Amino acid sequence: MSTYDYIIIGAGASGLLLADALGSDNFFADKSILILDKDTKAKNDRTWCFWEVADGEFDHLVHKKWDSIYFAGKILRKSSSIMPYHYKMLRGIDFYTHYLERINTHPNVTLVHAAVEKVEEKAEGVHVTTSGEAYVGEKVFNSIFRPELISNQNKYPVIQQHFLGWFVKTEKPVFDPNEATFMDFSIPQKGNTRFMYVLPFSENEALLEYTLFSEDLLEKSEYEDAIQDYIQQHLGDIPFEILDTEQGSIPMTCYPFHVHNTAHVFHIGIAGGWAKPSTGFTFYNTHKKVKKLTSHLKNGKSLSRFHNKDKFWYYDLLLLDILYKHNHLGQSIFESLFQRRKASLILKFLDNDTSFWEDVKIMSAPKPIPFIKALLGRVFRQSAP
């Protein structure tokens, strides 16, 4: 069996960013690194969005960016500048192509296309068995998400951010390419938290995505019907064609995935709890986590000390408690935020970057009763024998 210092399982955002961070740092030049994924990453299978101030290291890959966002609720209709932030979109294929090319230039990084079947810790190292071969790693960074971990417990609520999107092209110009629709709650809620998400690339091309924060997924036709209804309502009978589609589901939970880490196996990406629990945004959080993880390894710090609960974890937990028990409240909570607070402050809060007093401003915008009940529920739950 071939032996490596580091084995990275999965060539998604977390795996490729980590492989590149290690491979491009001279500190790890003497470390052998293996990355495993059954997929060749030759398709545009997803889009990632994030926001940041000014320019960033992904700008050369950004497909489109916006400095203004639109929010709609039951009553509110509001366009807002998000400066100093820029809302940015990355296509999966552009990301994969760039980082696979970079990884090929790192002499100590090996990429193997194979499906991982088993990960076992043994005395001589971590055995990773694939469909074709077995490998041994001193440390393994595993991005394989195991849904049973969160489905077989009830301490932490689990809500799915699930969506289906159409990339459409219209015969006539109908979109404003300078403004992204961040959340449009004007659509029927049907007892859930449902909104449309629209990213216009030009006056006649856009991604329209029907998104829910709820416990259960829908039939594919329900997402498609909702997008069709939205187009009919907002664009009328203008002819359009569907250029591409995307569909996905991201777990929104404060479940402590890190408890499944060991001295030799460390979980990354969604499998490591790197998705923002209250929004499902994952890419930029992963970017920051990879930088922190690389620093940990260079400084010889124990990976058991990598995870820490901050105030934003508790804020996310309270919101998820509310949406899990009263899913219909999502629309009113987000509408009150955008009605009473600046969009840039909301994005700063969602990016875990606000001060205590800015937190107070955000949390005082929605009606307090649901949050007080959620807080008391957590307090009494923790104090119960």
Q: What is the pLDDT of residues 333-373, one digit of tens each?
A: 999 999 999 999 999 999 999 999 999 999 999 999 999 99
Each residue of 67-90: pLDDT tens digit?
999 999 999 999 999 999 999 999
DSSP per residue, 81-123: E-TTEEEEEEEHHHHHHHHHHHHHT-TTEEEE---EEEEEEET
Report which DSSP code applies to 147. T
Structure tokens at 239: 């002819």
Q: Strand 265-267 and strand 134-142: pairing?
A: parallel
Burial 220-255 (b: 16+ CB within 10 A, else e): eeebbebbeebbeeebeeeebeeeebbebebbbbbb
Span 92-106, average pLDDT: 97
Q: What is the dihedral of CA 258, 259, 265, 271, to 10 degrees?
A: -40
- What global pTM score does this model have? 0.94
